[in-house]
């Protein structure tokens, strides 16, 4: 299972260019933003994102690792891994959790 950190150089730029649109759509959801900023449990955040943003998550998963199919056993693992990787990066965390971050497209 590929992770965001597996991408480097030009490939990383291409990955993030493709991921920004679905991520922005998720971050336009005030419930998700509130949960992320409040440091709600990962399980609650994962549950909310999976319930309300299935299409965006599929788009993100398929772009990060198109060879790893999403199924009932991997969807929670992949979502949790993605959120953990973002949450463990101070730079990414501050970008997505910033009060100044504009979430309108």
Average pLDDT, the chain: 82
Q: What does the pLDDT read at residue 63? A: 93
Supply the pLDDT for residue 77: 83
Across the range 71-90, mean pLDDT stands at 78
Give the number of domains in the chain: 1
* Separation of CA 36 from chain center: 11
- pTM of the complete model: 0.74
Residue 30 belongs to domain spanning: 9-97
Residue 4 lies in a domain: no
pLDDT at 40 exceeding the cut of 80:
no
For residue 71, how many other CB atoms are within 10 A of its CB? 8
Q: Is residue 104 part of a domain?
A: no
87 within 8 A of 65, measured Cβ to Cβ: no
Structure token pair of residue 71: 């199924």
Q: What is the pLDDT of residue 103?
A: 45
| Within a domain: 59 | yes
Rounded average pLDDT over 68-91? 78
């Amino acid at each position: 299972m590929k992770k965001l950190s597996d991408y480097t150089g030009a490939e990383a730029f291409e990955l993030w260019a493709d991921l920004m649109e679905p991520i922005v759509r998720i971050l336009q959801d005030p419930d998700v933003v509130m949960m992320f900023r409040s440091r709600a449990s990962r399980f609650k955040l994962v549950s909310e994102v999976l319930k309300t943003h299935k299409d965006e998550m599929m788009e993100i998963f398929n772009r990060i690792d198109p060879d790893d199919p999403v199924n009932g056993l991997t969807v929670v693992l992949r979502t949790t891994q993605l959120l953990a990787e973002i949450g463990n990066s101070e730079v990414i965390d501050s970008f997505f959790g910033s009060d100044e971050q504009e979430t309108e497209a």
